Chains A and B, each alone.
Chain A
Amino acid sequence: MHGALHVARTGLSAQDTNLKVISNNLANVSTVGFKKDRAVFEDLLYQIRRQPGAASSEESQLPSGLQVGNGVRTVGTQKMFTEGDLQVTEQAFDVAINGRGFFQILKPDGQTAYTRNGEFGIDAEGRMVTSEGFPLQPEIVLPDNVTSVTIGNDGTVSAIVAEDANPVNLGVIEIADFTNPQGLMAIGQNLFLETASSGAPVIGVPGLDSNGILQQGMLEGSNVNAVEELVEMITTQRAYEINSKVISTADQMLSFVTQQI
């Protein structure tokens, strides 16, 4: 049939994907520790309809051929690991990572997941857990009768128990870093899993080497910029309209053929 129909269809589905990514970003504009996505497009392979340099007669050659593109393809989505703004919450178990690194979370299936969302709480056993109830790794267990908990910049957790003036050391929150954080797989619930493309986690103490430091009483906001996303949405919508216009034009051409001949 008409090649332009299929090419414009790829354009429509690419803009469709783009809109989905944008709307997901906007929906998470106030999700703690959320990292925005960006859809990446590339042009599809070209088809040679007529080779450049082919002979047009015995003595002459075509200076240029006819290579026709097949449309656009969504290569994938990229997570943008730029840092969100730090918000002061003054909650003892809210911890933000200022700089690189991820908290390590033990999922119920035994896998370790990684997150930048430091909204922790305490479960019935006194462990520090995420808002979903998954324990932080290495485990931090609070004793009974805790008056106050302090989390240092280097991840040291100490608590004042009952009337004792000397704080008790409860352990260290270690954070993990990756060579290519963009390669992590987002599984929802603000969690990421390690993949072959992210590389193995490098586990370290906050503040050492290039790791970020921990900030107690703060949370990292979403890094979505609502204005940017809205502008993206406008260009996506217009691109969508243009491609649908191509489809209707191609359709008119074909219907003209069937009516006239």
Chain B
Amino acid sequence: MDKFLYVAMTGARENMKAQQVHSNNLANVNTTGFKADLEQARSMRVIGEGLESRVYSMGERPGTNTESGTLFQTDRSLDVAIDGEGWIAVLDQEGQEAYTRSGSLQVLSTGELVTSNGNPVMGANGAPIVLPPSSKVNVANDGTITVFAIGDPATEPAVIDRIKLVTLEKGSFFKGLNGMMVKDDGLIADQNIDVRLRSGYLETSNVNAINELTSIISLSKQFEMQIKMMKTAEEISSSGSSILRMS
């Protein structure tokens, strides 16, 4: 049987994996601060003895679309969205610094400022931000946090810390396994004082549902073509064996 059956098989298999990347984007079409994953296919020559006549396909996730989503108003002072470029520095489950744009913040009973999935938000001096018991928390445009501590007169806000905001150079970071960005070299990004926040807003997912759905349809048609090729391989093989049949 012709080996092109296997080439068609890899095409179909990689189409299915690519489908999963797009369907993951669509599943996160309403996730705050989500960044869509890109997907591409690469041709891989089979290098070895003999004639290099077979080129298999290989699916890849070369990167993440870091375009900003749309900002929407929530009127909650601890909801922050980044205006333009930039990322919020948080600590992930393993205690490593990671970067996110999902800015729905909360104050724990211990006073720790965390994101909605419980990752502590980093302050300007490289330590997680801890707030005193306070009646009102304000986040300024540059990330400075002021609070009215319980027991203090209502006219005297106290500056507590500043959220660590960073800019990441394009191509120098990737999406880690927990969905947050980490730098390629594993190092920690420096604070950038020019990044601007907006309090009372959140950023929507940047998934373009139409693009994703179109890709899914196109991939499913490609998939059907691969299956047709497998069918053709089978037909060629069976007609070959019927010609050679002794009867």
Interface-located stretch among B83-91, B121-129, B147-155, B185-193: B147-155
- Within 8 Å CB of A122, what residues of B? none
* Pair A179/B148 contact, Cβ less than 8 Å: no
- Within 8 Å CB of B178, what residues of A? 45-46
* Pair A246/B23 contact, Cβ less than 8 Å: yes
Complex CA distance for A19 and B142, rounded to whole angstroms: 35
* Pair A182/B29 contact, Cβ less than 8 Å: no
For residue B11, give the distance in angstroms from its CB to the closest CB of chain A: 13
A14: interface (CB < 8 Å):
yes
Nearest neighbor of B21 in chain A, beta-carbon distance: A68
Proximity bits, B1-38, A CB within 8 Å = 1, else 0: 00000000000000011011111111111111010010
Complex CA distance for A80 and B116, rounded to whole angstroms: 13
- Within 8 Å CB of B177, what residues of A? 45-46, 48, 67
Interface-located stretch among B160-168, B222-230, B237-245: B222-230
* Pair B61/A66 contact, Cβ less than 8 Å: yes
Nearest neighbor of A235 in chain B, beta-carbon distance: B30
A260: interface (CB < 8 Å):
yes
Complex CA distance for A246 and B110, rounded to whole angstroms: 43
* Pair A42/B117 contact, Cβ less than 8 Å: yes
Q: Among the interface residues B27, B32, B178, B212, which one has the most CB atoms of the partner chain A within 10 A?
A: B27
Query: What is the interface residue range for chain B against chain A?
Result: 35 or more
Checking B16, B30, B136, B217 against A4 with a beta-carbon cut-off of 8 angstroms, the contacting residue is: B16
- Within 8 Å CB of A63, what residues of B? 62
Q: Among the interface residues A63, A68, A177, A209, which one has the most CB atoms of the partner chain B within 10 A?
A: A68
* Pair A8/B26 contact, Cβ less than 8 Å: yes
* Pair B30/A69 contact, Cβ less than 8 Å: no
- Within 8 Å CB of B74, what residues of A? 38, 80
* Pair B216/A246 contact, Cβ less than 8 Å: yes
Interface-located stretch among A49-57, A135-143, A165-173: A49-57
> B125-159: which residues lie under 8 A (CB-CB) from chain A?
133-136, 148, 150-152, 154
Complex CA distance for A246 and B30, rounded to whole angstroms: 16
- Within 8 Å CB of A62, what residues of B? 60
Nearest neighbor of A245 in chain B, beta-carbon distance: B213
* Pair B227/A260 contact, Cβ less than 8 Å: yes
Complex CA distance for A82 and B217, rounded to whole angstroms: 43
- Within 8 Å CB of B175, what residues of A? 46, 67
A250: interface (CB < 8 Å):
yes
Complex CA distance for A76 and B116, rounded to whole angstroms: 9
Complex CA distance for A249 and B74, rounded to whole angstroms: 35
Nearest neighbor of B42 in chain A, beta-carbon distance: A62
- Within 8 Å CB of A2, what residues of B? 16, 19
A222: interface (CB < 8 Å):
no
* Pair A242/B227 contact, Cβ less than 8 Å: no
* Pair B28/A11 contact, Cβ less than 8 Å: yes
Number of A positions contacting B (CB below 8 A): 71
A72: interface (CB < 8 Å):
yes
Checking A52, A183, A198 against B174 with a beta-carbon cut-off of 8 angstroms, the contacting residue is: A52
* Pair B231/A239 contact, Cβ less than 8 Å: no
* Pair A256/B179 contact, Cβ less than 8 Å: no
Complex CA distance for A123 and B138, rounded to whole angstroms: 42
Complex CA distance for A162 and B67, rounded to whole angstroms: 72
A110: interface (CB < 8 Å):
no
For residue A57, give the distance in angstroms from its CB to the closest CB of chain B: 6
For residue A111, give the distance in angstroms from its CB to the closest CB of chain B: 18
B194: interface (CB < 8 Å):
no
Proximity bits, A227-261, B CB within 8 Å = 1, else 0: 00000000110110011011001101100110011
Give me 13 A-to-B residue pairs in the complex whose CB atoms sit less than 8 angstroms apart, sorted by A's number. A4-B23, A7-B23, A8-B23, A11-B28, A18-B30, A64-B61, A72-B27, A72-B31, A182-B106, A210-B135, A210-B136, A242-B26, A250-B23
Binding site for B on A (CB under 8 A): 2-4, 7-8, 10-11, 14-15, 18, 38, 40-46, 48-50, 52, 56-57, 62-72, 75-76, 78, 80, 82, 100, 177-180, 182-183, 196-200, 202, 209-210, 235-236, 238-239, 242-243, 245-246, 249-250, 252-253, 256-257, 260-261
Binding site for A on B (CB under 8 A): 16-17, 19-32, 34, 37, 44, 47, 58-63, 74-76, 102, 104, 106-111, 116-117, 133-136, 148, 150-152, 154, 174-179, 209, 212-213, 216-217, 220, 223-224, 227-228, 230-231, 234
- Besides A66-B17, A179-B133, 6 more A-B contacts (Cβ < 8 Å) are A197-B108, A199-B109, A209-B135, A249-B220, A256-B223, A260-B228
